[in-house]
Chain A
C-alpha cells in the first residue's frame, strides 16, 4: 500500500562546514509517515529536530539523501517549485508564531489563500478564525494579541488551505502551560477535522505520548 505513504526519507543527512572540518547535524534518517498519521519528533536541544523538520518541508536542502512527499522527490524540484508545492499541500506552525506584524489576524489567515489566488479568501479565513475562537479579534494586530491567541491565528493560517501535511515546530514552546494545552487541543481537533498528516516537534513527552508514533533524535540520528 505504497499509496498510503505520504512522506518518506531515504538516507537523509545534513552537514555544515564549520571551520576546517564539517559539523554533522543529521545523518542516515530513514523515515516513512502514513497518511493521517500523527508523528512526534522528540530529542534533546540541539539534536537536530528543527533541521529535520525544515528538510522534510523542503525549506532547506540536505547534503545527502532524499525526501519524497506523495512520491514526489522534493529536491528534484527547484526552490520555486517546492514553494508552489508547499503552497498547495503543506502547512506550518512555528514556535515563534511568525505572523506578519503589518497584517491583522484576518489578513494573516487570508494570506496563503491570496497567494493561491483564491477569490473566497476572506470568507474562508473568517470561518477558520471563528473556529479557533477568534471571531471577535479579526481586526487585531499580532502585537495586540496574547501569545496563545497569536498561535491560534497561526493554526488558522496553517489549516485554512486544508493542507495534506502539517509541520509544527514546538508550537507551545513560547507559551505558558495553560495556553500551551489549549493550543495543543485545538491542533489535534483541527487535525482530525481537516484530516491532515501531522509532524510535530516537541520537548513534551506527555504530548508525544498522545501521538500515534514517536521518533527520538539523538545527535542527529534516529534512536532505534
Chain B
C-alpha cells in the first residue's frame, strides 16, 4: 500500500504536468470555492440577518410582564455581561392646549431607559414634514417623541408642551420609525415615547392599571442562551420571553426566503460542480484506459491500479479543496467588504463550518463522481493492448454513479439544512439529466433521419457531402452526443436560470412586499359605523377601505375534548391556545390567501378555514371539530380547509375565518388595511374627529423598512449567484471538450483519406448546430419549468412565465456551439494530419 501511495503521488505529478488533470482540478477548485464562498457568505449574511432582525425587536431578547420585574431578573442580565434596557408601556390620554383650544388624544405611551433600543435605531424628524434620520438613543428626561398623527391630533408641534397624567412634557421630535412597534399595530393608539425617569411624575403607574413591563437584553449568543435558560423556569403567569419567532412572523418569512435563496444557490453550484467533475473524470478515464491496460500488462493488479488512481485523485481532491476553500474565503471577504456599505454594518466574522462543508462537498463530489469512472479503469482488461475495442464496460460505473448521487444528495440536504429544498434540487437535477439525455437521444436520431435530412438539405451553407457526413456522424455518435447534449443542456439551464429566472424571482420577491402594499391600518370601526366610514372615504375620492369584521374568540375544545395550555409543550402553542384571538367571517376567500388543503366552505356550513401554520403548531387537522367561546357563548365548527397566508403582504390576515352566518350575530369590530398615495394623506386628517373611537395606524415606515430589508437581501443574493454561474459555465466547458479527442482523431483520419478542410468543417458544423439547437431548446424549457417549480414550491412566489427564456435558450445553444465549432476546427485543422494523428 505504501508503494502504491508513493506511485500515486508520482502519477499525480506526472498527469498534472502533462495537463491531464487541469480541468478536473479547476472544476474542483471552482466547485469548492463557490460552495465555500457561498457558505461563508451565507453564514455571515445569515448571522447579520439574525442580528438585523433583532434590531426589529429592539434587542436580542425581550422579557415582557404585566407586573414590574423583580430586581433579581434585571440584575441577572447585567450580571451575565449583557446590555440591558427597560421599558414600560400603557395606554393613557395625552392633553394639550387650554380652554376652548384644549385637545386630547389616547396615546400608546412607552417609557424607556436611556440605553433603549439595544439593537437598531429609532428614526425621528426634527419637525413635521422634514426628512427623518436615525435617532441618538431614547428621549431625554422631560422630553417626548410623538408619532406624526399624534402631533396632528393634539396640535403640538416640536417645541410645544403636552400633559400626561400629572406631568408636563416637552415635544422634542417626531417619531417616524419604531422597529419594535409593528408587531402589534392592531391594538395600539399612536405612540408617545418618553424617558422612564419621568414616569413617577406622571402618577399614572398605579395598582390596577393595564401596564406592561419590558426588560431588554443584548449581547453574546451564549450568554443570551444562558439567560434564557435561567429565566424560563422562573417566569410567572403573565410573563414571557419574546424572540423573533414569536414577535415578528412577517420578518421571519422574509428571512426564511432569503436563507432559501442562498441555500438554493449553493446547492446549484454544488450539483453543477458535480456534473463538471463527472465530465472531467470521464474524459480522464477515457484517456487513461489504454494506459491502464498497459499497466496491467506490466504486472499491476486490479487492487493496485485502483489504489494508485484513488490515491492520485484523493490527493488531488485534498489539494484542490484546500485551494478552493482559500479562494472561497478570499472571495467572500471581498464581497463582504464591497457590501459592507450596503449592509450598513460590518458583517460578523464567518464560522468555520462552511470550510468544513466545502471540503466535504469537494471530496464527496470527487469520490461520488470520479469513483465510478475509476472503477472502469480498474476493470480494464489487459487484452485491450492488443484489441482496442475490448473492455469498455460502463455498466459497473453506472451503478456506482447512483451511489455518488445518493451521497451528494445526502450532503446537499445537510448543507441546505432543509430537507425539502435539498430533495427538490437533487431530485430535480436527477430528473432533468435523465430527461435531457433521453430527449436529446431521440432528437438527435430524429434530426439525422432521412426526411429531416431532406428538409435541412435546402438550407444554405450546408454543403452536400459535408452535410451528409455530418448527419451520419450525428447518428453514429448518437449515444455519446446525447450525453454531451444533455450536459450542455444542463449547463445552459443553469445559465438561463441564473440569467433570467433569477431576475424574475427577485422581481417577484420585491413585489411580495409591493410598493402598492397597504400603508395604513384602520382599527376599531364599530358595525354601525361601517357605512359612514365608507362614505367618508368616498367623499374624499379614496376607494372604500375594505373593512373586515373581527370577532374575538378562543378555542376551548378539539373534537369534543377540552383543550388548553397544558396540552402543549411549545411556548408559542401555549400562548396561542391561551389567549383570545381574532376570528373573522366572510363567504369568499380573500384573494391574497391561498388554499393549501381541503375545500373552501359553503356559506351556510358549520365550518371554518384555518391558517396552516397555526394548525401545525396546535396539531389541528383537516376535519377536526373545534369548539369556540365567543363573548361567553359556545359553538363548534369543523375545519374544512387550511390556508396559506402571506405574512409579509402587509394585509389583514386572520388565523381562523368562518362563514358569515356563523359569526354575524356576535359583537364585532371592523378592521382594514388600505393604501393612501403619498400627498393624499391630508384627506384622512378629519378621520379621528369624525370617528373618535377609530384608530388610524400609519405603517408606511414599517413597509419602507421591510422593502429596504428585501432590497438589501436581494443585493447580497444576486452576488452569490455569480458563483453558481461560474460552475454552470464550467459544466458547459467540460461538456464541450468531452468529445474533443474523438473528433480530433476522426478529423485527422478523414484528412489522411483526403477530406478537405471545408468538408470536415462543414460536417462538424452540421453536427454542432444540431446539438446546439437541441441543447438550447431543452435548456429553455428546463429553465422555465424549474423556475416555476422553485418559485411556487420553495419560495411561495408567483412567477409570471418569461417568454424570453424560450427564445434565449436555443439562441444561446446555437451561439455556443457555433463558437465551439469554430474553435475546435481551428485546433484540428491548423496542425498537419500526421501531428493530429500522433496526438490522438
Contact = CB atoms under 8 A, between A and B. Distances in A.
Interface of A: 50-51, 53-54, 57, 59-60, 79-80, 83-88, 90, 92, 94, 98, 100-103, 107, 111-112, 114-117, 141, 143, 157, 169
Given A54-B383, A59-B386, A86 B18 contact: no
Interface in B267-326: 287, 290-291, 293-304
B298 A111 contact: yes
Interface centre among A53, A54, A103, A115 (most CB of B within 10 A): A115
Interface of B: 3, 7, 10, 14-15, 17-18, 20, 287, 290-291, 293-304, 381-383, 385-387, 838-839
A97 to B, nearest CB: 10
Nearest to A79: B302
Contacts of A114: 7, 10
A98 B15 contact: no
Contacts of A169: 386
B295 A111 contact: yes
Main secondary structure of the interface of B (DSSP, over half): helix
30 contacts: A53-B386, A54-B387, A57-B297, A59-B385, A60-B381, A80-B303, A83-B300, A86-B296, A86-B299, A87-B298, A87-B299, A88-B299, A92-B297, A94-B385, A98-B290, A98-B385, A100-B294, A101-B287, A101-B291, A102-B17, A102-B20, A103-B18, A112-B299, A114-B7, A114-B10, A115-B298, A116-B299, A141-B18, A143-B838, A157-B298
Contacts of B20: 102
Contacts of A88: 299
Given A98-B294, A102-B20, A84 B386 contact: no
Contacts of B386: 50-51, 53-54, 59-60, 94, 169
Contacts of B291: 100-102
A101 B387 contact: no
Contacts of B297: 57, 59, 86, 92, 98
Given A87-B299, A102-B18, A107-B14, A59 B382 contact: yes
Top-7 shortest CB links A-B: A87-B299, A102-B18, A80-B301, A59-B382, A60-B383, A112-B298, A100-B291
B387 A83 contact: no
A84 B382 CA distance: 13
Contacts of A79: 302
A17 to B, nearest CB: 15
A53 B386 CA distance: 9
A203 B55 CA distance: 88
A74 B17 CA distance: 38
Contacts of B290: 98
B301 A84 contact: yes
Nearest to A102: B18
B300 A87 contact: yes
Nearest to A118: B3
Contacts of B14: 102-103, 107
A60 B381 CA distance: 8
A87 B293 CA distance: 13
A50 B386 CA distance: 7
B299 A50 contact: no
Contact of B299 (A100, A103, A115): A115
Contacts of B299: 83-88, 90, 112, 115-116
Contacts of A83: 296, 299-302, 304, 382
Contacts of B838: 143
Contacts of A51: 386
A92 B7 CA distance: 21
Nearest to B388: A96
A116 B6 CA distance: 12
Nearest to A144: B838
A224 to B, nearest CB: 26
Q: Which of B287, B290, B298, B303 has the most CB of A within 10 A?
A: B298
A143 B383 CA distance: 23
A60 B297 CA distance: 11
Contacts of B839: 143
A84 B299 CA distance: 5
Contacts of A98: 290, 293-294, 297, 385
B181 to A, nearest CB: 68
A57 B18 CA distance: 31
A135 B174 CA distance: 91
A103 B293 CA distance: 15
A173 B387 CA distance: 15
B187 to A, nearest CB: 76
Nearest to B293: A98
A93 to B, nearest CB: 11
A109 B217 CA distance: 73
Given A102-B18, A102-B20, A115-B7, A59 B383 contact: yes
Nearest to A142: B838
Given A59-B385, A92-B297, A117 B18 contact: no
A205 to B, nearest CB: 22
A112 B291 CA distance: 12
A59 to B, nearest CB: 4
Contacts of A57: 297
Contacts of A112: 298-299
Contacts of A84: 299, 301
A53 B300 CA distance: 19
Contact of A50 (B15, B293, B387): B387
Contacts of A101: 18, 287, 291
Contacts of B300: 83, 87, 115
Contacts of A80: 301-303
A86 B383 contact: no
Nearest to A169: B386
A214 B94 CA distance: 122
Nearest to A117: B3
Contacts of A59: 296-297, 381-383, 385-386
Nearest to A157: B298
Q: Which of A94, A114, A157 has the most CB of B within 10 A?
A: A114
A103 B290 CA distance: 13
Given A50-B387, A53-B386, 4 more contacts: A86-B299, A102-B17, A115-B299, A115-B304
A25 B287 CA distance: 30
Given A54-B383, A102-B18, A115 B10 contact: no
Q: Which of B293, B299, B839 has the most CB of A within 10 A?
A: B299
Contacts of B293: 98
A51 B301 CA distance: 21
Contacts of A92: 297-298, 385
Choose among B297, B301, B304 the residue with the greatest number of A CB atoms under 10 Å from its CB.
Answer: B297
Question: Which of B17, B18, B303, B387 has the largest number of chain A CB atoms within 10 A?
Answer: B18
A100 B174 CA distance: 81
**Which of A86, A92, A98, A116 has the most C-beta atoms of chain B within 10 angstroms of its own C-beta?**
A98
A79 B302 CA distance: 9
A196 B303 CA distance: 29
A83 B295 CA distance: 9
Contacts of B303: 80
A187 B502 CA distance: 66
Nearest to A87: B299
Nearest to B287: A101
A98 B301 CA distance: 18
A169 B382 CA distance: 14
B21 to A, nearest CB: 9
Contacts of B298: 86-87, 92, 111-112, 115, 157
Contacts of B7: 114-115
Nearest to B296: A83
A54 B297 CA distance: 10
A26 to B, nearest CB: 13
Nearest to A98: B294
Contacts of B387: 50, 54
A59 B298 CA distance: 11
Most chain A CB inside 10 Å of its own CB: which residue of B10, B293, B300: B300
B742 to A, nearest CB: 15
Nearest to B6: A114
